[in-house]
Amino acid sequence: MMNANSFYRPRSGLDMLEQTAADPRERGRVVLESLARIEEVEPEVRALTAVAQRETALTAAAGATGPLAGMPIAVKDIFDTSDLLTCYGSPIYEGHQPKSDAAIVTLLRRNGGIVIGKTVTSEFAYMNPPVTRNPCDLARTPGGSSSGSAAAVAAGIVPFAIGSQTGGSTIRPASFCGIAGYKPTLGMLPTVGMKCFSWSLDTVGLFGAGARDVAYLAQVLSGHQLAVDDVSANPVFGVPDSYPWTEPSANASTALDTAVRAIEQAGGRVRRVRFAPWMADLVAAHNTIQSYESYRALGFEYDHHRADLSPLLAGFLERAARVDTTSYAKACVLAEQAKTRLAGLFDGMTGLLTPSAPDEAPDGLASTGDPAFNRNWTLLGCPCVNVPGLKGTRGGPIGVQVICRPWDDARCLEAAAFVEQAIAASVGRVPAT
């Protein structure tokens, strides 16, 4: 069972958009509900670093046009915002006020979205645990580094949120918080104006109540046809028989088996697949690339403000300084070679199905969890979706991950919606619509 103090209450953005489309006067109410929910849960959940002024948000909602007109949306605090402080999760940037919006924020505003607040991030989107608590169980981590974005959606503060992923920072928090998380193909959404950690890996991530919600938001922001109306019949999923990074817990394996049974009951098919040896090599390649690039991307902070970095990040950057250019180049070549082999990995299948994380959210706030099940797909640029709807043996949410080849995002989102619908039918829940 969930913690007695559970604040879990995600709301479907698509349902809210239907209401505001039928009556534009509802936009103001939706914004006020978001602000009221912040007052209600923020002291306990601690998802936000800054909140928009009431009158400013209401004025923006009244004049909003576009497919997100009037929707309150939260943005991870590594994206610049011209009207809200942007501190990147670090005391180095306390009080920092950018002069311009990040590109993804501009896209939100152009399409009528209301940036209602900035969400807590791990320091520079690395792994130092922040203060945010899991709305499903306040005694557990919400994951990271997009901690506040996942928690804000799970707690019903906003229907949509923007996060990011360099290792597993979107899929893992979505799994821990029981919502949908979508990591698009690398480069589909712009990272201009986002604090860089690794320019080869950083990817904008999206959060919503369910797969259809993130698909709609992705379509609006990307211009690609990604919204899911009807799920396709008889998708085929490949389920790996083992993993070269770490084995899932019995808990995660049980959740995956439950999803497999639900898929088969809904008319889908599942095939066992085996990863080739090159998949194991990518684990080290991801670390090499991330280390080399982060030491340069955070060079100013490391060189001039090292005492203000957490011991965890400072230690990582100290080790990262030892990665030489030759090793980096070899890792980049290995990654590019692996991308050319992806077609064979997905041959004859709609997508892969794996656990989203090794287990449900750990107890306590001392760790954001293990991104082992996410890193390789981030390196390869694959679209991934966390599918919610399952519970672990300790009562917390635990997700399964749908993965497709790069630029096959529409298929990935549609397949995720199929899995979500199948799980809901199997366990007797209603999926987000």
Other residues' Cβ atoms within 10 Å of the Cβ of residue 161: 32
Instruction: For the chain, give the secondary structure using H, E and C.
Output: CCCCCCCCCCCCHHHHHHHHHHCCCHHHHHHHHHHHHHHHHHHHHCCEEEECCHHHHHHHHHCCCCCCCCCEEEEECCECCCCCCCCCCCHHHCCCCCCCCCHHHHHHHHCCCEEEEEECCCHHHCCCCCCCCECCECCECCCCCCHHHHHHHHCCCCCEEEEEECCCCCHHHHHHHCCEEEECCCCCCCCCCECCCCCCCCEEEEEECCHHHHHHHHHHHHCCCCCCCCCCCCCEEEEECCCCCCCCCHHHHHHHHHHHHHHHHCCCEEEEECCCHHHHHHHHHHHHHHHHHHHHHCHHHHHHCHHHCCHHHHHHHHHHCCCCHHHHHHHHHHHHHHHHCHHHHCCCCCEEEEECCCCCCCEECCCCCCCCCCHHHHHHCCCEEEECCCECCCCCECCEEEECCCCCHHHHHHHHHHHHHHHHHHHCCCCCC
**Above 80 in pLDDT, residue 393?**
yes
pLDDT for the residue 5: 67
| CB-based contact 186:164 (threshold 8 Å) | no
| CB-based contact 412:404 (threshold 8 Å) | yes
**Above 80 in pLDDT, residue 281?**
yes
Whether the upstream peptide bond of residue 222 has omega within 30° of 0, thus cis, is no
Instruction: Name the nearest CA neighbour of 174 among 138, 205, 201.
Output: 205
418, two tokens? 């199929």
pLDDT for the residue 433: 44
364, two tokens? 């306590």
Buried b / exposed e along 269-280 (16+ C-beta atoms within 10 A): ebeebebeeebe
| CB-based contact 183:373 (threshold 8 Å) | no
Which amino acid, residue 102? A
Average of per-residue pLDDT across 334-359: 96
Class of the 13-237+348-427 domain?
Answer: alpha beta
Q: How does residue 401 score in pLDDT terms, banded at 50, 70 and 90? A: very high
pLDDT for the residue 233: 78
Q: Give the β-pairing of 72-76 and 114-119.
A: parallel
pLDDT for the residue 430: 52
CA–CA gap between residue 211 and residue 419 (Å, rounded): 9
**Above 90 in pLDDT, residue 173?**
yes
**Above 60 in pLDDT, residue 431?**
no
pLDDT for the residue 427: 85
pLDDT for the residue 2: 47
Q: What is the mean pLDDT of the chain?
A: 96
Which amino acid, residue 146? S
186-233 per-position pLDDT tens digit: 999 999 999 999 999 999 999 999 999 999 999 999 999 999 998 877
User: Domain ranges in the chain?
Assistant: 13-237+348-427
127-169 per-position pLDDT tens digit: 999 999 999 999 999 999 999 999 999 999 999 999 999 999 9
Which amino acid, residue 182? Y
Which positions are catalytic? Answer: 76, 145, 169
pTM value > 0.95: yes
pLDDT for the residue 158: 98
HSE, CB side, 13 Å, CA atoms: give it for residue 83. 14
pLDDT for the residue 230: 87
55-90 per-position pLDDT tens digit: 999 999 999 999 999 999 999 999 999 999 999 999
Q: How does residue 429 score in pLDDT terms, banded at 50, 70 and 90? A: low
404-422 per-position pLDDT tens digit: 999 999 999 999 999 999 9
pLDDT for the residue 1: 38
CA–CA gap between residue 332 and residue 310 (Å, rounded): 28
81-124 per-position pLDDT tens digit: 999 999 999 999 999 999 999 999 999 999 999 999 999 999 99
